[in-house]
Amino acid sequence: MKNKIVLLILFFGIFRFGISQQISGKILEETPDGLISLPGANIYWLHETGGTTSDENGDFKLKPPKAYPTTLIVSYVGYKTDSIKLETPKNNLKIKLSRDVELDVFEISEREKSSSVSLVAPIHVETLSEKELTKAACCNISESFETNASVDVNLSDAVSGTKKIQMLGLDGAYTQIQLENIPFVRGIASPFGLTFIPGTWAKEIQIKKGAGSVVNGYESITGQINVELQKPDETDRLFVNGYFDDGSRAELNIHAGQKMNDKWSTMQFAHLSNQSYMFDKNNDSFLDLPLKQQYNFFNRWKYKGEKHIAQYGFRGVYDKIEAGQIKSTEIINPYQIQVLSQQAEIFTKNGFLFPKEPYKSIGIITNARFHQHDSKYGLKKFDAIQKSIYVNTIYQSIIGNTDNVIRFGGSLVYDEFKNNYNDSLNRREEVVPGIFTEYSYTDSIHSLVLGLRIDQHNLYGKFATPRFHYKYKLAEHTAARLSFGRGQRTANPLIENAAVMSSSRIVEVDQNLKPEVAWNYGTSVTHHMELFHKETNIDVDYFFTNFENQVVVDIENTRKISFYNLKGKSFSHSFQAEIAMQLSTQFEIKAAYKWYDIQISYQDGLKQKPMIPSHRVLVNMAYYTNFDKWKFDFTTQWFSTSRIPSTLVNLPENRVNERTIAFATINTQVTRAFKRFDIYFGVENATDFKQSSPIISAHQPFSSEFDASMIWGSVFGRMFYTGFRFKIK
């Protein structure tokens, strides 16, 4: 009997001890009327999956973590995520959340690493943090993906030095690129727009593969890239970045934030860059790197009130590029390339809040932009002006409880284009009003997003854009996703393919080009686990893009480039598998493999898209010493062979192989950190790989066989650079 009593006492003691280990508390918001509870807030442990939500009174109970010390994360739609470090178990916590002043698209991200794929969001979202963006000297956003596998970075041609991005194997024009959820790179900004935002201005970059949210518009086909800039009330008082490389490129980036009072803050960004020295390492008479000048200024203001939050900003860009043949006594009439871009825009973002109904909000986003582009490629001339207006109004609330979120609203997109190609004038005006609705459901297992928008195009009539995203929690640390959706966009063939103007090809454009329409279908699995007692994240995804119509860019005939409506098939298969492992608190590694199958029906049949490698491998390693005094980063990429359009009709000396060669590149960087000052050194393309004869018929640029657009590798080769970062908190 005594033994039974002892066992009973032990049982209840253990039971009470287990109960006492549970973490309990209350989630609150401080308002002018006092503290109010927040039901439906998400509470979970850092590095662990699972969690709980607060009840109708804001109370919660959470299972204990695997070990202490640890960090408790609390998040809620429309509020800033909070984190609390716990050394030991605690109860009766009082956690106050503050309003998130940003008008961001709804999504909850996991811990901030260099890069991470959310286990929680129903849309496949990969976030690149500031830590990732400083792994390489990303001078502008187009160069910010060198250590990332989801976005490919390639040269657009062999003379302008401009880099372009691709997503799911398709050109960046099919990716909706936004600046804080405002359309950014589109229209005549397509070839150079990403160079207008320095990498140091970015706080994070969100990469969303597949069909995106209908709230942001109808143009997304392969995905969305959203760049979040430094925030006026959160940034350093002063930040200065300098960059120099052995290609004579020098850059200076400065931004400063000032908090005027409890409600107002402001921030200024400035960028100056110059590249003025002439290089011709391969002796083809053409500059290996263009001569560049850019002046860039951005000012933003931020207001934070109890019921009203707002942002206002102005941005201006002057960008000049000169390239082509080096003038000499032997070259009487050199082939010259000149590109001048001037852009100015203003934007506003207003949010209206309801303190007694924290789940409800109204957001209004407006943007007006003027962009002038003047270019000359040898004997070809292309000038364009684009005037754009964008308005988006979003209302968000819940249906019954915070598991069911509904958003709806309306938008207006206005574009006026004036193009002049070789004195052939063309004017086009597009007016597209639209309405949309999006429903989100979330519980501990399922997440669902259903979206639909209806738009009325003044030239192409009414069309619908459905989008679907679903996430299922397969296990505690595993999420599977499905998505599909439709995208539609109006092509601007000449400016979006400006690289082909650096050739002697005759340009033929179908007079009745239709909108590009495609469906994207995707699936992915994200898994977090411990492998050999090391934190490991695995992400595998597959996306299929099928075009109903596409403006085909046909360079199969070496004498001309043709733009025409698709007659037949055009599709893209994209598969990616990535593993990231935290080998220690100081050493992390990630490796990714990608496979593409992209085929288009040209006039002479269905073929693989040229100069797109079917296989790619990326490996990135980063090591940090104690207190991050030293940082070492290493990235290598391998590219398989790809198809090159036939050049058999050319003279023998101007023919190239019908396939590229497989090659690899290596980038490294070392950073030494001091209290307020970082200095970094690096090398790009350490193996000094260069494409042999990147320009066809370089010594006769006005001949019918001249072509600088057949680019698939580096022109300059190895590049050494150095720089510094200085900040005052």
User: Which of 223, 246, 262 delimits the end of a domain?
Assistant: 223
* Same domain? 35 vs 159: no
* Same domain? 460 vs 512: yes
C-alpha 47, offset from chain centre: 25
Nearest Cα to Cα of residue 373 among 551, 193, 499, 183: 193
* pLDDT at residue 346 greater than cutoff 90: yes
Average pLDDT, the chain: 89
* Same domain? 352 vs 429: yes
Distance CA 634, CA 417 (A): 44
* Same domain? 209 vs 257: no
User: Which of 157, 189, 223 delimits the end of a domain?
Assistant: 223
Task: Tell me which of 52-56, 405-409, 415-419, 665-669 is least confident.
Answer: 52-56
Domain range enclosing 35: 18-96
* Same domain? 201 vs 266: no
* pLDDT at residue 18 greater than cutoff 60: no
* Same domain? 175 vs 290: no
pLDDT at 480: 97
> What is the rounded radius of gyration, in angstroms, for the C-alpha atoms of the chain?
27
pLDDT tens string 108-119: 333 346 788 888
pLDDT at 483: 97
Tokens for 223, please give them: 């995905």
The helix, strand and coil proportions of the chain, stated in percent and rounded to the nearest 5, come to 10, 55, 35
C-alpha 547, offset from chain centre: 23
pLDDT at 329: 63
pLDDT at 12: 37
Q: Determine the average pLDDT of the residues in 84-111.
A: 62
Asked whether residue 106 is domain-assigned, the answer is: no
- 672 bridge partner residues: 630, 679
Residue 141 is classified by DSSP as G
User: Which of 169, 192, 223 delimits the end of a domain?
Assistant: 223
* Same domain? 63 vs 140: no
Ramachandran area for residue 675 (φ above 0: left; ψ -120 to 50: alpha; else beta): alpha
Asked whether residue 12 is domain-assigned, the answer is: no
Asked whether residue 110 is domain-assigned, the answer is: no
Query: Residue 77 — pLDDT band, cuts 50, 70, 90?
Result: low
What lies within 8 Å, CB to CB, of 271 at 6+ separation is 198, 201, 251, 252, 253, 254, 294, 295, 296, 297
Asked whether residue 2 is domain-assigned, the answer is: no
* pLDDT at residue 14 greater than cutoff 50: no
What lies within 8 Å, CB to CB, of 522 at 6+ separation is 124, 209, 210, 211, 481, 482, 483, 484, 541, 542, 543, 544
Asked whether residue 3 is domain-assigned, the answer is: no
Place of tokens 């727009």: 193
Domains held by the chain: number: 3
Asked whether residue 218 is domain-assigned, the answer is: yes
pLDDT at 514: 96
* pLDDT at residue 21 greater than cutoff 60: no
E-strand stretches of 400-460? 401-421, 424-442, 446-457
pLDDT at 114: 77
* Same domain? 194 vs 278: no
- What CATH number has the domain bearing residue 31? 2.60.40.1120
Asked whether residue 409 is domain-assigned, the answer is: yes
pLDDT tens string 348-365: 999 999 988 888 999 999
Distance CA 386, CA 373 (A): 9
- What CATH number has the domain bearing residue 173? 2.170.130.10
pLDDT tens string 681-718: 999 999 999 999 899 999 999 999 999 999 999 999 99
Nearest Cα to Cα of residue 428 among 501, 370, 492: 492
pLDDT tens string 608-626: 999 999 999 999 999 999 8
CB environment 92-129: b (16+ within 10 A), e (fewer): ebebebebbbbbebbbbbbeebbbbbbbbbbbbbbbbb
* Same domain? 236 vs 216: no
* Same domain? 489 vs 614: yes
* pLDDT at residue 33 greater than cutoff 70: no
% of the chain beyond a pLDDT of 90: 69
Tokens for 298, please give them: 């951005």
- What CATH number has the domain bearing residue 470? 2.40.170.20
Tokens for 65, please give them: 């973590």
Residue 187 is classified by DSSP as G
* pLDDT at residue 136 greater than cutoff 90: no
Asked whether residue 165 is domain-assigned, the answer is: yes
* Same domain? 569 vs 683: yes
* Same domain? 270 vs 187: no
pLDDT at 83: 78
Instruction: Decide if 705 contacts 719 (C-beta within 8 A).
Output: no
